[in-house]
Amino acid sequence: MMDGRIGKIRTAFENNGFVDTIILSYAAKYASAFYGPFRDAVGAGLLLGSKGKTTYQMDPRNSLEAISEISLDINEGADIIMVKPAMPYLDIVNQISKKFQIPCFAYQVSGEYSMLIAAIKNGWLSEDDVIKESLIGIKRAGATAIFTYFAPKIAKKLKRWHILAKTYRKLPVNGRTSDITS
């Protein structure tokens, strides 16, 4: 997001003895309408004015710039890359995971969460299914980890899904043991 920032942070850390400190880069943070619910909740929309953060966040039309900025940040010492928001930029998550040998985190932001919650509340989508599918899609694109507002809800469900997966894994399908987790 700001050229040279990661290098300055890395230098400051190492000059002060913090040689094993991990730096997470927000090099792939897009200027997105999906931040709206969060900005409204904290009153940031009024403070930002009509331009918002478009002056320094990535243009949604430009994928090459993200890859270039990520490469620069890695060369300056970034250890992890964050893609934000996740859903509209799964192609970027995929490119990062294939091109670079560092973890790629994806952030399912407030607008993505709000969109799914609205559809769930209106009965248009099944809660368990859509939450699980949205996170699986992000993971399948190549994300090493996912930040999501669904975290408290999904943590409770993971234990139940894990138990179900163990049960279903043992069921024979066409003469073979099935494995629903692969």
| Annotated catalytic residue, options 29, 51, 153, 170 | 29
Per-residue pLDDT of the chain (182 residues; tens, 9 = 90+): 567 889 999 999 999 999 889 999 887 777 666 765 545 555 555 555 555 555 557 676 787 888 988 999 999 999 999 998 889 989 999 999 999 999 999 999 888 999 999 999 999 999 989 999 999 999 999 999 999 999 988 888 777 766 666 655 554 444 544 444 44
Q: Where is 92: in which H helix or E strand? A: helix 90-99
End-to-end CA distance of the chain: 36
Alpha carbon distance 19, 15 (integer Å): 8
- Note whether 142 and 168 are same-domain residues: no
Total count of domains within the chain: 2
- Note whether 114 and 162 are same-domain residues: no
CATH number of domain containing 69 = 3.20.20.70
Told to judge if 84 belongs to the known catalytic residues of this protein, a careful annotator would answer yes
Q: Is 85 helix (H, G, I), strand (E, B) or coil?
A: coil
- Note whether 135 and 161 are same-domain residues: no
- Note whether 128 and 62 are same-domain residues: yes
- Note whether 123 and 182 are same-domain residues: no
| Annotated catalytic residue, options 51, 84, 139, 170 | 84
DSSP string, 107-155: EE-HHHHHHHHHHHHTTSS-HHHHHHHHHHHHHHHT-SEEEETTHHHHH
Residue 90: domain span:
5-149
- Note whether 41 and 117 are same-domain residues: yes
- Note whether 46 and 73 are same-domain residues: yes
Instruction: To the nearest 10°, report the CA torsion of 86, 88, 90, 96.
Output: -80
- Note whether 177 and 137 are same-domain residues: no
- Residue matched to tokens 């469900």: 157
- Note whether 103 and 173 are same-domain residues: no
Told to judge if 29 belongs to the known catalytic residues of this protein, a careful annotator would answer yes
- Note whether 127 and 166 are same-domain residues: no
- Note whether 120 and 164 are same-domain residues: no
**Integer CA distances (angstroms), 155 to 48, 74, 148, 160, 166, in order:** 34, 31, 11, 9, 17
Could you tell me the sign of the dihedral formed by the alpha carbons of 61, 130, 157, 173, in that order? negative
